[in-house]
Amino acid sequence: MPVARSGGGLQASGFRAFVAVSVNLAAVGVLVAWQRQRRASSGRRVPWSATARGPAKWSGLTARFTGLPAAAGELYVRPSSMTFRRSFLPPIPEFSEAAELLSLAADALLVDDLESCGDLLVRADLKPLREFSYLLAGPINPEIHRQSHNPVFTPVPKEGRPRMPSAARTVEVFARDGYRCRFCESKVIVKDAHRIFARFLPVEARLGDTNDANHFGLATLTATIDHLVPYSRGGDNSETNLVTACGPCQYGRNRWTLDEVEILNPFDYPPIIDKWDGLTRLLVLKSKAHAVARRPNPSINTDAAR
């Protein structure tokens, strides 16, 4: 009798093991099918030239900047209890580092110290900023964007609606927001600062025709105007719909609403107003910069342009 009970136990144990393996294989199959379907629907227009990077790079960057395992970016399932946040991800330390170096570079340029300015620009050309930008503005990642596909909506007609605000209103919005991204609160710089640096030091201030050919610090920190209600969904250019944003935060949101990506309205928080001027102090060199003979930038493929 004991032997019979032992044999029956072995048979039952073997059957349970077979069932467990079958269930696990079925679960893996469901995950693989879901993953393929998500990848097929994750195409989007990427302004940060992410076409050369694949899912493996995506997972690696997710792990690096979010602290999650590499697989989390691939198999993430968004919990229903997610809370709203200020931005997609907290800015990495290189944002502050680049801002400080670029500020020193601006001071050096203002006193015609091109050697020091060039050295500081090289030090501010931080590749992690490019990688961080790709993580937000590249392929849709549910862990970051809390969406698995592009928004579906009926576009609002463009007739009678200017796409962007006037230059004067843009300046007003940047000043109102303290030249900081209203989402991640990173310091940003005016676009003309990059152009002025590039006029005097085209190699160090890399202003190229592709994202990787652009200076990573200057490009990432360049201020942009973001519509809280996306333009294509009816958003206008009123001051209450416009905020200052860094490139990653703006391009990362695509055409989603704030609610769809679970980001708080930045107007719920006061802007940071301090001595940071977005490098607007360089604008006094604008006329002088135009007088500088334009030297070729080796990062631009002039042959391809022709």
Q: What is the mean pLDDT of residues 218-236?
A: 96
pLDDT of 82: 67
Between 303 and 197, residue with greater pLDDT: 197
Q: What is the mean pLDDT of residues 258-282?
A: 97
Task: Determine the structural domain holding residue 206 and report its residue range.
Answer: 89-147+160-293
- Position 9 in a domain: no
Between 72 and 140, residue with greater pLDDT: 140
- Position 55 in a domain: no
Q: What is the mean pLDDT of the chain?
A: 80
Q: Dig out the tokens for 282 from the structure.
A: 């360089």
pLDDT of 79: 53
| 118 phi and psi angles, rounded to 5 deg | -65, -40
- Position 186 in a domain: yes
Per residue in 30-76, pLDDT (tens digit) is 343 444 444 444 433 333 333 333 444 444 565 556 555 443 334 34
- Position 204 in a domain: yes
Of residues 244, 246, 36, 38, the one with CA closest to residue 143: 38
Q: How confident is the model at residue 291 (pLDDT cuts 50, 70, 90)?
A: confident
pLDDT of 9: 47
- Position 231 in a domain: yes
Q: What is the mean pLDDT of residues 261-265?
A: 97
- The DSSP output letter for 296 is P
Between 148 and 45, residue with greater pLDDT: 148
Percent of the chain with pLDDT over 70: 69
Between 288 and 86, residue with greater pLDDT: 86
Q: Dig out the tokens for 80 from the structure.
A: 């229903």
Look at 20-24, 109-113, 211-215 and tell me which has the smallest mean pLDDT: 20-24
- Position 173 in a domain: yes
Residue given tokens 């991640």 in the structure block: 184
Q: Report DSSP letters for 93-125, one per residue.
A: HHHHHHHHHHHHHHHHHHTT-HHHHHHHHHHT-
The helix/strand/coil state of 225 is strand
- Exposed (0-12), middle (13-18) or buried (19+): which is 302, by Cβ within 10 Å? exposed
pLDDT of 257: 96
Per residue in 229-242, pLDDT (tens digit) is 999 999 999 999 99
- Position 229 in a domain: yes
Q: How confident is the model at residue 78 (pLDDT cuts 50, 70, 90)?
A: low
| 189 phi and psi angles, rounded to 5 deg | -125, 155
Look at 57-66, 210-219, 296-305 and tell me which has the smallest mean pLDDT: 296-305
- Position 235 in a domain: yes
In the predicted structure, residue 211 carries a pLDDT above the cut 80 = yes
Q: Dig out the tokens for 26 from the structure.
A: 């079925």
Number of domains comprising the chain: 1
pLDDT of 76: 40
Look at 41-45, 243-247, 251-255, 271-275 and tell me which has the smallest mean pLDDT: 41-45
| 94 phi and psi angles, rounded to 5 deg | -65, -20
pLDDT of 289: 85
In the predicted structure, residue 299 carries a pLDDT above the cut 90 = no
The C-alpha atoms of residue 207 and residue 195 are separated, in whole angstroms, by 8
pLDDT of 64: 59
- DSSP tally for the chain: helices H, then strands E: 13, 2
Q: Report DSSP letters for 123-183, one per residue.
A: HT--HHHHHHHHHHHSS--HHHHS-SS-----PPP-TT--SS--HHHHHHHHHHTTTB-TT
Q: How confident is the model at residue 80 (pLDDT cuts 50, 70, 90)?
A: low
The answer to whether 116 and 108 have CB atoms below 8 angstroms apart is yes
Q: How far apart are the first and last CA of the chain?
A: 91
pLDDT of 42: 40
Tell me if the pTM is above 0.95. no
pLDDT of 134: 96
